[in-house]
Amino acid sequence: MFVYGTLMRGQPAHAMLAGHATFVGEGTVPGTLLALGRYPGAVAGRRRVRGELWLLARPEVLRTLDEYEGYNFERRVTVAMLASGRRVRTWIYRYRGRRDGRATAIPDGDWRTHRWR
C-alpha cells in the first residue's frame, strides 16, 4: 500500500498500519497532491506524489483502510518508484471528491513539508 498523508509514519492515523504492515521504503507515484484541509488527496496529474510503501500483513487490513478513507477516496492500482529506483505495483487511495476552493495543489507533492509550512 502506498500512503502519502495521515497514514505515514509520524502522522495522526499511522497507528492503523503499525503492527499490521511492514515498511518497505519511501518513494513516489505519478499524480498531483492536493491539500484538503487536515488531510491530502492524490489525483491524476503530471507531477509526483511523495510517500511510503507498506506491505500489509493480511488482506483484511484493506477493509479497515477502506472504511477509514471513506467514500471520497477510491483504492486503485498504481506503480510506485522507490528511492532505490525499483518500480513496484501497489495500491493507492485516489481522491475523487469535490475540488472546490479548499483543494489546492501541493507543488512538491510532499504532505509532510506542506503540513509544517
Backbone angles phi, psi at 4, to 5 degrees: -135, 5
Cα–Cα dist 103/91, whole Å = 23
Cα–Cα dist 7/66, whole Å = 12
| The Cα angle at residue 83 between residues 69 and 14, in degrees rounded to 5 | 30
Give the C-alpha distances (Å, rounded to integers) separating 7 from 12, 28, 85.
7, 15, 23
Would you give the DSSP letter of residue 92?
A: E
Please, what are the domains in the chain? Answer: 2-107 (3.10.490.10)
- The tens digit of pLDDT for each residue in 20-31 reads 999 999 999 999
The whole-number pLDDT of residue 48 equals 98
pTM here?
0.94
Q: Is the pLDDT of residue 101 over 90?
A: no
Q: Is the pLDDT of residue 32 over 90?
A: yes
Q: Is the pLDDT of residue 92 over 80?
A: yes
Q: Is the pLDDT of residue 70 over 90?
A: yes
